Chain A
Amino acid sequence: KAGVTQTPRYLIKTRGQQVTLSCSPISGHRSVSWYQQTPGQGLQFLFEYFSETQRNKGNFPGRFSGRQFSNSRSEMNVSTLELGDSALYLCASSLAQGVNTGELFFGEGSRLTVL
């Protein structure tokens, strides 16, 4: 069974640009979550989608947005990039049986560098 696939793996952008990151969850998984990982702030929750609906949202500015498609694939977008947005962006999927917390399967992440 293929794992969580994130693309691109690495990208470099300049301040003010926008970026779109893609995530393909494990087949059959309906919940997709996004996390930001930085050396200073650690792992921080961005948002979670289930059946194309945002179910939870973290404390990030509105420049960070996401969506989920009918096939459970998800994208996240960051607009007007700032230097502080440089991070590893991790996508995680889960079977999402009801609202019970279950195992999250993480991808290897998309490493964004903002210059």
Chain B
Amino acid sequence: QQQVKQSPQSLIVQKGGISIINCAYENTAFDYFPWYQQFPGKGPALLIAIRPDVSEKKEGRFTISFNKSAKQFSLHIMDSQPGDSATYFCAASRSSYKLIFGSGTRLLVRP
């Protein structure tokens, strides 16, 4: 019940395309769903986050879609750029800093 399942494991997208990463969870007590971006040699950095009282949140080219009934949430990267090439992690938590992370998606955006 504590798992967060993330897919796909890797993703290749052409520049200007849309990158979509999906996550699913089981624990309905989770109340915070962030996405982190990690570049090689760096620690993860918060990209965008959502709480279950909204179905979508957009920040620039990044959008989280949240489906509470399906217990799924996804990250959409519009107009993907080579600089977006990184590993992306979804996560979930229950009112704490104990984040349960997905397994990560390695995104490569080709020029």
Contact = CB atoms under 8 A, between A and B. Distances in A.
Contacts of A44: 101
Question: How big is chain A's contact interface, by range?
Answer: 20 to 34
Given A42-B101, A42-B102, A106-B43, A55 B96 contact: yes
Given A56-B96, A99-B95, A101-B93, A109 B43 contact: yes
B43 A4 contact: yes
Nearest to B42: A108
Interface of A: 4, 31, 33, 35, 42-45, 48, 55-56, 58, 90, 92, 94, 96, 99-101, 103-109
Interface of B: 31-32, 34, 36, 41-46, 49, 89, 91, 93, 95-104
A43 B43 contact: no
Contact of B99 (A4, A55, A104, A107): A104
Contacts of A55: 96-97
B105 to A, nearest CB: 11
B97 A107 contact: no
A43 B95 contact: no
Interface residues of A, dominant DSSP:
strand
Contacts of B34: 103-104
Contact of B46 (A48, A56, A104): A104
A35 B101 CA distance: 10
Contacts of A42: 89, 101-104
Contact of B95 (A35, A94, A101): A101
B89 A101 contact: no
A114 B42 CA distance: 21
A96 to B, nearest CB: 7
Contacts of B100: 45
A102 B8 CA distance: 27
A30 to B, nearest CB: 11
16 contacts: A33-B98, A35-B99, A35-B101, A42-B89, A43-B91, A45-B99, A56-B96, A90-B43, A92-B43, A92-B97, A94-B97, A101-B93, A103-B34, A104-B99, A108-B41, A108-B43
